[in-house]
C-alpha cells in the first residue's frame, strides 16, 4: 500500500494515487510573500557623494555590484525582510531598486508600502548598529 500525503514530482503517478500532491499544486498554495525578499544595502559616502541606503525588492543574491566611475563596489545586504503585498503588486519579476538619502525618505516609502512598525523598528536597530543612520542623516 502506498502512503498518502507524500510529495511526488511525477504528475502521472500522482493522478493514479489521489492522496499524493504534485509539486506544482503545492507551489500554487505557497504565498508569494514568503518567497520574495527585500534586501537593504549601505553605500558609504564617497568623493563628495552622500551615503545611501539601497533597497532591492526581489534581489537574487545577498550581494550587489554597484558601478561607479572609479571602480565597481560590491555590497553585502545588512538586513532582509519579506515583501509586503503592495510591494508585490507594484513590483515585477525582476529586481526593483530604490535609493534613499535620508531615513525620513525611507520611512515615508515604507509606510506607503505597508511595512509594519515592527519591521521599521528592526531596520532602525540595524542602521543604528551599523552607524548608517547618522551618516545618511548628515546629508
Per residue, the 3-state secondary structure of 31-52, as one string, reads CHHHCCEEEEEEECCECCECCE
Same domain for 59 and 2: no
Q: What is the mean pLDDT of the chain?
A: 74
* Domain shared by 16 and 81, yes or no: no
Percent of the chain with pLDDT over 70: 65
User: Higher confidence at residue 34 or residue 127?
Assistant: 127
Domain containing residue 112? 33-137
8 with 19, same domain: the answer is yes
Q: Which DSSP helix (H) or strand (E) runs through 7?
A: strand 7-8
One domain, residues 52 and 104: yes
Q: Are residues 73 and 95 in the same domain?
A: yes
What's the angle, vertex CA 109, arms to CA 108 and CA 113, rounded to 5?
120
pLDDT at 76 over 50: yes
pLDDT bin (cut points 50, 70, 90) of residue 135 is low
pLDDT at 69 over 60: yes
pLDDT value of residue 64: 96
In this prediction the pTM is 0.67
Q: For residues 68 and 104, is the Cβ–Cβ distance under 8 A?
A: no
User: 92 and 62, same structural domain?
Assistant: yes
The pLDDT score that the predictor gives to residue 44 is 87
Do 101 and 81 share a structural domain?
A: yes
Whether 128 shows a pLDDT value over 80: the answer reads no
Pick from 16-20, 40-44, 57-61, 115-119: least confident: 16-20
In this predicted structure, what is the pLDDT of residue 58? 92
Same domain for 125 and 85: yes
Question: Do 90 and 53 reside in the same domain of the chain?
Answer: yes
Same domain, 49 and 91: yes
Q: Band of the pLDDT at 5, cuts 50, 70, 90?
A: very low
Amino acid at each position: 500500500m502506498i502512503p498518502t500525503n507524500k510529495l511526488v514530482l511525477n504528475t502521472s503517478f500522482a493522478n493514479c494515487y489521489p492522496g499524493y500532491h504534485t509539486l506544482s499544486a503545492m507551489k500554487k498554495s505557497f504565498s508569494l510573500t514568503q518567497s520574495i525578499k527585500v534586501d537593504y544595502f549601505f553605500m558609504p559616502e564617497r568623493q563628495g557623494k552622500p551615503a545611501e541606503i539601497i533597497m532591492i525588492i526581489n534581489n537574487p543574491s545577498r550581494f550587489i555590484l554597484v558601478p561607479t566611475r572609479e571602480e565597481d563596489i560590491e555590497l553585502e545586504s545588512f538586513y532582509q525582510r519579506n515583501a509586503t503585498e503592495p510591494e508585490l503588486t507594484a513590483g515585477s519579476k525582476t529586481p526593483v531598486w530604490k535609493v534613499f538619502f535620508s531615513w525620513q525618505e525611507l520611512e515615508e516609502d515604507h509606510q506607503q508600502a505597508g511595512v509594519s512598525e515592527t519591521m521599521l523598528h528592526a531596520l532602525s536597530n540595524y542602521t543604528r548598529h551599523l552607524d548608517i543612520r547618522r551618516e545618511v542623516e548628515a546629508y
